[in-house]
């Protein structure tokens, strides 16, 4: 065998060895957590009149959760509605303005014929201007009453606390009949479980191989499944005690099979 053949044989052996060696990967453990955890609070104070959910209930966005007592607000709204619909002052001011207009027109006609003094016409013109202003004032007052009605209506609607997201109730801070005060407005805790976040802590050298928005596979040993995930967050800081970087992966959970707090894994190439 020539030297050239020996060299070629050696190179082929080396390349064959490299090709036969599988790429290695490390598997890291993590855990799942809710995508969002919200402490639902009331922006109005009052006594809880209706508790419409319990712990463990699954709710939709906009669904009523709690209603505060609203007896006084309902009464005030009824008064405001009646006041808003009252047209008496506007009608009286309009009638007064029409009368002043007709009188001014008559005096103008009489003055042309020499049967009325200019002083009377000027006084009638001033009275007509005041009557016009009174009509405008009555209409502005009516518009203000309409706005007051809308304000009370909005305040009444705010006494029904609705879910800001689709999720599940995990804890009740208040019960039926309790008072919700401005210094303690929290009523219940709500979590969003679709999607979930898979949390991992890894060495910096491994975290630097990942990119936000990249797709990865997340394993769930308890379900014997691997699911697609999207890297949502890579911490810009390294934990001083452990020397690790926190990474969060978003995993869809539309079927609700994944639970928060479950163990999960991710594989990262060691090269």
Q: Using one digit for the tens of pLDDT, what is the confidence trace for 209-241?
A: 999 999 999 999 988 889 999 999 999 999 999
Q: Using one digit for the tens of pLDDT, what is the confidence trace for 139-158?
A: 888 888 899 999 999 989 99
Q: How many CA atoms lie within 13 A of 172 on its CB side?
A: 14
Q: Is the pLDDT of residue 8 over 70?
A: no
Q: Is the pLDDT of residue 14 over 70?
A: no
Where along the chain do its domains lie? 24-68+169-269, 71-157
Tell me, which fold does domain 24-68+169-269 have in CATH? Answer: Elongation Factor Tu (Ef-tu); domain 3 (2.40.30)
More confident residue, 106 or 62: 62
Backbone angles phi, psi at 193, to 5 degrees: -105, 0
Q: Is the pLDDT of residue 4 over 60?
A: no
Q: Using one digit for the tens of pLDDT, what is the confidence trace for 153-176?
A: 998 999 999 999 999 999 999 999
Cα 160 from chain centre: 15
Answer whether 0.85 is exceeded by the pTM.
Answer: no
Q: Is the pLDDT of residue 123 over 70?
A: yes
């Amino acid at each position: 065998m020539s030297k050239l053949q020996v060299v070629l044989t050696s190179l082929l052996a080396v390349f064959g060895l490299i090709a036969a060696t599988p790429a290695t990967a490390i598997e890291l453990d993590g855990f799942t957590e809710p995508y969002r955890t919200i402490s639902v609070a009331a922006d109005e104070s009052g006594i809880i009149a209706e508790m419409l959910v319990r712990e463990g209930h699954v709710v939709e966005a906009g669904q009523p959760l709690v209603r505060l007592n609203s007896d006084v607000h309902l009464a005030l709204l009824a008064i405001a509605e009646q006041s808003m619909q009252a047209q008496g002052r506007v009608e009286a001011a309009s009638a007064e303005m029409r009368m002043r207009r007709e009188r001014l027109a008559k005096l103008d006609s009489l003055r042309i014929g020499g049967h009325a003094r200019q002083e009377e016409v000027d006084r009638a013109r001033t009275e007509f201007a005041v009557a016009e202003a009174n009509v405008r004032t009555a209409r502005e007052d009516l518009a203000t009453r309409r706005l007051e009605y809308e304000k009370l209506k909005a305040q009444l609607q705010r006494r029904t606390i609705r879910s800001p997201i689709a999720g599940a109730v995990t804890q009740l801070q208040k019960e039926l009949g309790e008072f919700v005060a401005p210094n303690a407005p929290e009523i219940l805790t709500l979590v969003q479980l679709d999607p979930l976040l898979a949390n991992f802590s890894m060495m910096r050298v491994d975290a630097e191989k990942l990119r936000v928005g990249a797709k990865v596979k997340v394993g769930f040993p308890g379900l014997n499944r691997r699911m697609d995930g999207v890297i949502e967050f890579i911490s810009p800081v390294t934990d001083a005690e452990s020397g690790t970087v926190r990474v969060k992966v978003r995993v869809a959970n539309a079927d609700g099979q994944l639970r928060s707090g479950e163990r999960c894994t991710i594989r990262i190439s060691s090269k």
